[in-house]
A and B are shown apart, each in its own frame.
Chain A
């Protein structure tokens, strides 16, 4: 049982920035890197997403041969940090202030991503169960 409520991307991101004061900007992307939602608009959003996708690609190309898959990463710089988390075909990229509490930020990002994933699963049309054909052997 999940305790994550299904919400749309904008609400999930609004909740994230409200809960985590360390997150300055965040963007949710799908498996192809298309932006589903962002707390910033225009060029900064594009730069954030490009950075996140680039970081994942660079980490995968460096460690991909080990048979492990990169699920999340943090690049900690003096001016701030960049976090990338991917799960269930979705990804979230966030920029934080310097010296963030990494564990908390990862937790908040995963919670946000799960809320978005729950919405997407819910909004997908269900396939109808195939009708049973009754055999009329007599």
Chain B
């Protein structure tokens, strides 16, 4: 039981760390007329011109 609890805490901690890391990343969400969405994170080459353009407004 203790091992199971420890494993659950470990998984929750890893998920929390991953979420925090994702939240801190710069990204672009593009929505289309057919309802689809594309997300480009800052490590994607396509995201760089869009992020650079957005930076000018801030």
A73 touches B31 (CB 8 A): yes
Task: Give the distance in Å from the alpha carbon of A68 to the alpha carbon of B53 in the complex.
Answer: 22
Question: Within the complex, which residue of A48, A55, A68, A75 is in contact with B32, where a contact is CB–CB below 8 Å?
Answer: A68
Chain A interface mostly:
mixed
Chain B interface mostly:
mixed
Chain A nearest Cβ from B51, distance in angstroms: 6
Task: Give the distance in Å from the alpha carbon of A58 to the alpha carbon of B54 in the complex.
Answer: 11
Interface size class of B (residues with CB under 8 A): 20 to 34
A73 touches B29 (CB 8 A): yes
**Contacts A/B (CB < 8 Å), 28 sampled:** A52-B57, A55-B53, A55-B54, A59-B28, A62-B46, A62-B50, A63-B32, A69-B32, A69-B33, A70-B30, A70-B31, A70-B33, A71-B31, A73-B28, A74-B29, A75-B27, A75-B28, A75-B50, A75-B54, A76-B26, A76-B27, A76-B28, A77-B54, A78-B24, A82-B57, A95-B57, A99-B23, A102-B29
